[in-house]
Amino acid sequence: MNKALKTYIIASVVFISVSLVYILPALFNLQKAEAQAITPNNSNVVLPSVQTNIKPVEQDVVVKTCRGNWLYISSVGIKIDLGYENVSSWNYKSIPSILSETKGNENTVILGHNYCEGGNCFSPTTDFAQIINVQKGDIAAACIDNILYQGEVLVSKSFDDSATYILDNWLDRPIVTAFTCYGECYSQSCQEVKSRWAIAFAKN
């Protein structure tokens, strides 16, 4: 190998070595820059806001069904069949009845017998009149037109015979009111009395 060729080869190796010293870091920095451009910086990424139009689920009102028309008081333990009657036609021959004037009202009213014995109705003389022994807080139920209403007894007490407001929505909430004769009476059917006994329970 002559001296000129040897010098050329050495010079070429030196040139390539020096070039690699500058080129390789530049290539590495270029690749790093490209990678940063491709990979998003999570701290700077702003995601579009998503609005949902999901409405709260409304709970369906569960209607409990039953069969017929009847009244049941837990503390009495007797289911009493009921008829339909209006106030003016109800008498001692009528079975305990839902007063037709109150059908569909907030306050559904039931009227039943407590036959007189010895001129008074202070004690129950019929199954229906057992409502006299009902306590506040007892559970009562009524099947009215195949719909079951049941709830806690809110009121159980004697009312003056002139207290006709118990036919209205007198507790300002959905209720069932049941009443019968109570106290001194002037006829066997106890339609003429000084007072009545009434209970009212929540219509749930």
Per residue in 11-28, pLDDT tens? 454 444 545 445 445 444
pLDDT of residue 178: 97
pTM comes to: 0.68
pLDDT of residue 198: 97
pLDDT of residue 189: 60
* Angstrom distance (rounded) from CA 171 to CA 191: 25
Give the tens place of pLDDT for each residue, 45-84.
Answer: 343 443 444 444 444 546 799 999 999 988 888 899 999 9
pLDDT of residue 137: 95
Nearest to 153 by CA among 171, 127, 167: 171
Query: What six digits make up the tokens of 195?
Result: 């007072």
What residue spans define the domains of the chain?
Answer: 3-44, 70-202
pLDDT of residue 115: 87
* Angstrom distance (rounded) from CA 128 to CA 140: 13
Residue with tokens 């700077």: 44
Query: CA 181, 182, 188, 194 torsion: positive or negative?
Result: negative
Return the percentage of the chain with pLDDT > 70, whole number: 67
Asked whether 69 and 98 are in contact (CB, 8 A), the reply is: yes
Give the single-character DSSP code of 54: P
**Fold category of 70-202 in CATH:** Sortase; Chain: A; (2.40.260)
pLDDT of residue 58: 45
Regions of the chain with pLDDT less than 50: 4-5, 8-9, 11, 13-16, 18, 20-21, 23-24, 26-28, 30, 33-35, 37-40, 42-59, 61
pLDDT of residue 76: 83
